[in-house]
Structure 1
Amino acid sequence: MENTEPLPAHRIDPHAVGQDDIDAYRLLAGDIASGTAVVATRQYGRDIAATVTGFLDVSYDPPTMLVSLYADGRIGEAVAEAGSWALSLLSGGHEGTANWLASPGNPVHGLLSQVPFRRAPASGAAIVEGAIAWFDLRTTAVHPVATHLVVAGEVVAMGGTDDAHAANDPLLHFSREYRHLR
């Protein structure tokens, strides 16, 4: 049965977005539960990495994923330029790593000095040790969208953990906090 009462709405003029619009959007979009991952690449011989919650699998044939990265941030520029990157899906035990790599103003030198990692077989990017799953990707498309870059990549290598406890405890992001299934 249709309810004909109009929905209360915060209307946005796309040509004049204000701070109130941004704040309302962030609050409502924060209620989208998502996995938490680390995107990493190598640029000029240095590791660049950041925590992300905007990623998804696009296709199984061929295996393809995409990630949304802040265009003016180091990670956005580095991934767009490098042509390859890695995505590590984090478990609940990685909350400290997620916080560290989400912090603005992280150092360029020694960014991963306190994060245990291994190298991805094709890209050489960092894969967080103990990640539930990891994907090594070759960039196939980069699209600027608003303040971000949407980067698509074809999976060239992948793997996962043998730790059943970690595999059953993904690090989730919901309502501006990290959450656990357990």
Structure 2
Amino acid sequence: MITPQDFTAALASFATGVTVVTVKEGRDDIGSTVTAFTSVSLDPPMVLISVLAASYMCEVLHRSPRWAVTVLSAGQRALAGRFAAEGRPSARLLLGGQDSHRGPRSEALIIEGGLAAVECETRLRIPAGDHVLVVAEVLGVDYLEKAEPLIRVNRRYRS
């Protein structure tokens, strides 16, 4: 039998980029660090994120179909840590002086200094164990900076 600890330890050796997913919900901005982000389709352009089913971010994504993903750069390690909990209200307050702007298609915050931004609209939600896979059509993309990426491997942020 595979234990959760063994499974986590084995998959922690897989390096992945780090993103912050943001959603505008009413007057609040919600943000969460997400390492499970990938492209799904080129035509139409689609992406997928995986979020903890019991998280606040999962609830918000169920209510608010438009959201944004900022791909973080190596210099944004502290920012990733601020959003590492399961989705926090008032994301703008947690940016800690980091500039942001509203995406024109999603109204979600896009964090300045990231490598890229992807604005999305949810098309499909798939329960998958203790997570939910959220498949979305890409509404727009922007290349924000040319810099080193922030990655996560062996439970640590690296560049």
Q: How would you bin the TM-score normalised by the shorter chain? A: over 0.9
8 Å contact 2:125–2:134 — kept in the other structure? yes
The offset of 1:175, in angstroms, is 0.4
* Aligned counterpart for 1:93 among listed residues 71, 75, 78: 75
For structure 1, the residue ranges without an aligned partner over 5 or more in a row are 1-10, 13-20
* Aligned counterpart for 1:150 among listed residues 130, 133, 144: 133
Larger-Rg structure: 1
The offset of 1:105, in angstroms, is 8.3
Q: Secondary structure at the match of 1:32?
A: coil
Change (3 A) 1:59 1:94: same
Output the CA distance in 1 between the equivalents of 2:152 and 2:19.
10
Matched, 1:27 2:27: no
Output the CA distance in 1 between the equivalents of 2:87 and 2:21.
17
Write the mapping of 1:44-63 to structure 2, written as runs, cut at 5 A.
44-63=26-45
Give the structure 1 partner of residue 152 of structure 2.
173
Tell me the C-alpha RMSD between the 2 structures: 1.5
What one-letter code is carried by the residue in structure 2 that aligns with 1:178?
Y
8 Å contact 1:80–1:151 — kept in the other structure? no
Matched, 1:122 2:102: no
Output the CA distance in 2 between the equivalents of 1:42 and 1:102.
18
> What are the superposed Cα offsets for residues 163-182 of structure 1, whole Å, 9 maximum, x if unpaired?
43x2xx000000000111xx
Q: Secondary structure at the match of 1:69?
A: strand
- What is the TM-score normalised by the length of structure 1? 0.81
Q: Secondary structure at the match of 1:95?
A: helix
- What is the TM-score normalised by the length of structure 2? 0.92
Change (3 A) 1:155 1:144: same
Percent sequence identity is 31
Structure 1 stretches of 4+ with a deviation exceeding 4 A read: none
8 Å contact 2:32–2:86 — kept in the other structure? no
More strand by share: 2
